[in-house]
Structure 1
Amino acid sequence: MSNEITMPKLSDTMEEGKILRWLKHPGDKIARGEAIAEVETDKADMVLESFEEGVLDQIKLNEGESAPVGAVIALMKSASAKDSRAEGKPMPSAEAKPLPAAAVMENPGAEAAATSELPVLTAVKPKIAGGRQPSAKQIAPTAASEKTQKPRKSIAPAAVVTDGSAGDLHVHPAMSANLSAAPTAIAAPPPRPEPSAPAADADAGDGHKLRASPLARRAAEEAGVDLSHVRGTGPEGRVTKRDIDNFIREQQLFKFRRLVSPREGAPGSREELSAMRKTIAKRMAQSKREIPHFYVTVEVAMEDAVRLKDSLEATELFEETVTYNDIIVKACALALGRYPRINASYEDEGIFIHPNINIGVAVAVEDGLILPVIRECERLSLLEISRAAHRLVAKSSRGGFTSDELSGATFSISNMGMLGIEHFAAVIVPPQAAILAVSAIKDRPVIRNGQLAVGKTMMVTGSFDHRIVDGVVAGRFLQELKRFLENPSSLLL
């Protein structure tokens, strides 16, 4: 008896989904957690992963076709059933039951109840064994691979986020990756040999030894970075963890510049909205229509914050490079702890003040916006916030967030400092009470001791829900945030 694989409900607004591409074919074995298909939803293009082991028996929904939530899209036989049939034994009768095949992944501000019984959904991104990204040699088709591998569509990377006021940049996976029409055969990668020792030096391939610290090797492995491409700055050219971080940022900056380059359609043309874009349009219209926004702006002197960041980087107290965004997240967590009404939601004609401070950082992807969340920031030190942010960066290189990492934000930060934006206001993400818009750190004229001078300042604008927050509370919150940022040594406590 076959188990039914049904179209899962991947968001609270989803009514149907479309199969973009089947990754498995009838007769293929499927391991627990292995990707089955790419599905287009109203929030993002997701990879559907199996919750059970088995053999794909029959595909009910072809590529490019849509089906409502709950409809049967495929049938899968259990692995034991196939083994039993192969040995000539009668197959045990079993009542068919729906196969759980997806976890809910929410867009900014949406609540999700992910459980341990549900598999993880990941963003569409080509991967090879071990979670590492394929190299050019592995992607190049060979005669052997063309015979043994089924053609696959190439997938374009599409996710970039500006994450710092003065040069920090984070990239996150493409939640709405575009699928090109040209099929490409991908050669199966050779199995990765186990390292003999964490700190051992490897041969770079040109007769030279590739030296890297154990921490750098682990970070490179997590991010899928080829160590031979990284320039080491340690003793005798040894690659350090900092070198890996810098290499990832350089790659992200390159992708970011490609993303922000003009790519508009031809004049007079019409572009259909994707499912993600439709959802964003609906939620943002709902936010502006139902939430009475008001805005408060404050200018922050950032000289001491700049010196703190430079000092931490120069003294190498932390393995991870602390970014301006990490500093802002920590300062917001402290300010929200003193003004908990900002960390609240309007629910059922009442105000719910959240017990934890979960800060989401707005992330631009090619066709929309997602909100990765750093949870329980009130409990985290600046170093722990930096580590959490770096884990998200590493995960973006591997590909994929869990639903828990994209839901449950109680306060949001939108940072456009990388673009040199001097001032802007962001739209509140329902059901949150506020969002902070962070602009670039700029050299501006300031008055010090009655004298005109040049200082580094940053404009931050808070958007607040007037049903929850009054103007005086919003102003005091921003003054508290300003005080922490202008005295950044307090962020190290």
Structure 2
Amino acid sequence: MAEIITMPQLSDTMEEGTVIKWNKKIGDKVLEGDILAEIETDKATQDFEIDVSGVLLFIGVHEGEKTRVNEILAIIGEEGEDIHHLIPKNNKDDINNNIEGISSNKKEKVEEIEYKKDRIFISPLARKMAKEIGISIKNIEGSGENGRIIKKDIESSHDNKKFQKTISHSSMRKKIAYHLSFSKFSAPHYYIFNEIDVDQLIEFRKKINDKLSIEERISFNDIIIKAVAKALNTHPNMNTSWKEKEIIYYSDINIGVAVALEDGLIVPVIKNADKKSLLQISKEIKDKVSRSKLRKIQAEELENSTFTVSNLGMYGVESFTSIINIPNSSILSIGSIIKKPIVKDDKIVVGSVMKITLSCDHRIIDGANGSSYLLSLRKFLEDPITILF
């Protein structure tokens, strides 16, 4: 008996998902445990593992298209099974395409191929766009399922010289927009700036890396994460969240690490960072950053941060401010390391400095508390060997 597969809720905040890739096509046999598709949520792209076996009879959402949680995604059943009664009215136009791909009869296969030669497969949105801007779809090569022309094919068409490119919001981009707008306008932000003497930090990192393999070498960011966690141990009021009727003081110190992607931002979390060694933190960050960029990180690895660090130093940014990653009460912005004249022992010398900015939620953290935390963090970074004890 055919079974309807709906769009799964792959994260606690997911309302809709985009099918990035189908790993099976109409007519393919699927087994329980197979990865049916890759789905982009508001947080990451995840593999969707099927829990039934049978033949893929119907695909309700094409690659690059989105649908809401619990809406029809696919139908799996027995070969040749009649599924017309299971197809929603708004998907009736697709039923012929799906059923034609199922038959194992060679004659029907040939007829289907001939049918596809004469018919141009195009999504309703792409057809509408092509009509509005007056371009022919005959010579456009479709990149969607079974060569279907979709929106991005119209946008990139060589015939489309006058078209002003527009791209629909991804689930991730919409989530970022909502999350940061809510944070900025609900949490009264204030900012504390400081400049850190990092000469000892540079030497500390060099001495450690001289004893490690290339793959194991730690970054400045690894050391900063450890120092941030260490400082939070002595300033528990920074490791907090605002709720309407209470303030939550977290016992665990979980550091979110902002990672830039092509179409947004993602924040994998290093849990219990204060209890981990530099090498453990470094290895975990490398792994999670790598999987974040490949959209292979799991939703639970992006949850429950208590403090966030955003580092743009590698982009040559000297200093910047960040919007708090709610429900955190603060976020630390890290600039690049630069050489400049500084005063040491009443003498002007060339030294290395790094500018940092602490953004705080004034509902929870007063200026004195934020400044006190930043002073402790500065001491750890200017004498980094102390973070090991």
TM-score grouping bracket, smaller chain normalisation? 0.7 to 0.9
2:41 is the counterpart of 1:36? no
> Structure 1 65/383 Cα, relative in aligned 2: closer, same or farther at 3 Å?
closer
Aligned to 1:50: 49
Equivalent residues in 2 for 1:298-309 (5 A)? 298-309=194-205
Q: How many residues align?
A: 313
CA contact (8 A) 2:342 2:349 kept: yes
Report the Cα distance in structure 1 between the residues aligned to 2:294 and 2:170, rounded to whole angstroms: 25
Q: What is the deviation of 1:362?
A: 0.5
Shift of the alpha carbon at 1:471? 0.4
Paired position in structure 2 for 1:106: none
Note the C-alpha offset of 1:43. 4.4
TM-score (norm 1): 0.58
Long gaps (5+) in structure 2? 80-140, 147-161
SS at match of 2:308: strand
Q: Aligned partners of 1:397 and 1:271: how far apart in 2?
A: 20
Counterparts of 1:315 and 1:334, CA distance in 2: 24
TM-score by length of 2: 0.73
Separation of aligned partners in 2, 1:356 and 1:301:
29
Contact 1:25 1:56 (C-alpha < 8 Å) held by counterparts: no
Does residue 385 of the first structure (1) align with residue 384 of the second (2)?
no
1:48, CA displacement in angstroms?
Answer: 4.1
Aligned-CA RMSD value: 2.9
Following superposition, the deviation at residue 183 of structure 1 comes to 7.7
- How far, CA to CA, are the matches of 2:265 and 2:307 in structure 1? 16
C-alpha contact (below 8 Å) 1:312/1:318 kept by paired residues: no
**Deviation of residue 27 (structure 1)?**
3.8
Q: In the alignment, does 2:195 pair up with 1:335?
A: no
Name whichever of 382-391 and 454-463 sits farther off.
Answer: 382-391
Which aligned pairs between 1:90-105 and structure 2 lie closer than 5 A?
none
Aligned residues of 1:382 and 1:491 also touching (Cα < 8 A)? no
- The partner residue of 1:452 within 340, 343, 348 is 348
Q: Which residue of 2 aligns with 1:174?
A: none
Match of 2:244 in 1: 348
Provide closer, same or farther for how the CA distance between residues 422 and 267 of structure 1 changes in structure 2, counting only shifts above 3 A.
Answer: farther
Residue 473 of structure 1 and its aligned partner are, at CA, apart by: 0.5
Counting only pairs closer than 5 Å after superposition, residues 319-468 of structure 1 correspond to structure 2 as: 320-393=216-289, 395=291, 400-468=296-364
Report the Cα offset of residue 348 of structure 1: 2.9
Is contact 2:268-2:289 (8 Å) kept? Answer: no
Query: Which structure has the highest helix share of the two?
Result: 2
Amino acid at match of 2:184: K
1:133-172 mapped onto 2 (5 Å cutoff): none
Change (3 A) 1:267 1:412: farther
Do the aligned partners of 1:31 and 1:50 also contact (CA within 8 Å) in 2? no
The DSSP-based 3-state class of the residue aligned with 1:443 is strand
1:485 corresponding residue in structure 2: 381
Deviation at 1:408, TM superposition (A): 1.4
How far apart are residue 182 of structure 1 and its match?
Answer: 4.4
**Residues in 2 aligned to 1:488 and 1:317: alpha-carbon distance in whole angstroms:** 21
The CA deviation at 1:363 is 0.8
Maintained 8 Å contact 1:27/1:55:
no
CA distance in 2, matches of 1:7, 1:396: 22
CA distance in 2 between counterparts of 1:471 and 1:401 reads 36
On the 8 A contact 1:30/1:50 being kept in 2, the answer is no
Structure 2 match to 1:277:
173
2:2 alignment counterpart: 2
Distance in 1 of aligned mates of 2:269 and 2:230: 17
- How far 1:181 sits from its partner (Å)? 5.1
Q: Distance in 2 between matches of 1:340 and 1:31?
A: 50
Moved more, 279-288 or 309-318: 309-318
Deviation at 1:271, TM superposition (A): 4.7
2:76 pairs with 1:76: yes
- Residue aligned with 1:315, SS: coil
SS at match of 2:216: coil
C-alpha distance 62-469 of structure 1, shift in aligned 2 (>3 A):
closer
Amino acid of the structure 2 residue aligned with 1:416: L
SS in 2 for 1:409: coil
Would the aligned equivalents of 1:26 and 1:55 in 2 still touch at CA under 8 Å? no
Residue type of the alignment partner of 1:70: N
Q: Is the 8 A contact 1:36 1:47 kept in 2?
A: no
Using the alignment, how far apart are the partners of 2:333 and 2:347 within structure 1? 30
